[in-house]
Amino acid sequence: MSLIEWADFEKVELRVGTIVQAKPNEKARKPAYVLTVDLGEMGLKTSSAQITDHYEPEALIGRQVLCVCNFEPKRIAGVKSEVLVTGAHDKENSVVLAGFDHQVPNGTRLL
């Protein structure tokens, strides 16, 4: 692991958003959902996420997630992915979403 300076960390816009829509991405080679995330003053952003192992679309609605907001948008399986929804792999290599114990305002930046 290489060490970074505090200024490097500050460059990453990690913000909290609430999933307001989730549907299967029919064009994806690996199962994925197209998510619409409300990031407060930043507006609604789209993400394609391979999170189908642990989550059903309807259960994702209203869930707060942590997003990287300052990557260049990337076209993924026909979807303009504007943010990266973060998580970690479990022992079966399935994604578990990063989240919060209590609600925080959409758009709040990670400290």
Question: What is the tens place of the pLDDT at every residue in 11-21?
Answer: 999 999 999 99
Q: Which two tokens stand for residue 50?
A: 């391979």
Question: What is the tens place of the pLDDT at every residue in 66-77?
Answer: 999 999 999 998
Q: What is the C-alpha separation between 43 and 58, in angstroms, rounded?
A: 21
Q: How confident is the model at residue 32, as a pLDDT?
A: 96
Supply the mean pLDDT for the chain.
96
Q: How confident is the model at residue 17, as a pLDDT?
A: 98
Q: How confident is the model at residue 98, as a pLDDT?
A: 97
Q: Which residue has the tokens 């919060």?
A: 100
Q: Which two tokens stand for residue 96?
A: 């578990």
Reported as type and span, the H/E element at residue 7 is helix 6-10
Instruction: Compute the average pLDDT of residues 36-43.
Output: 98
> Global pTM?
0.94
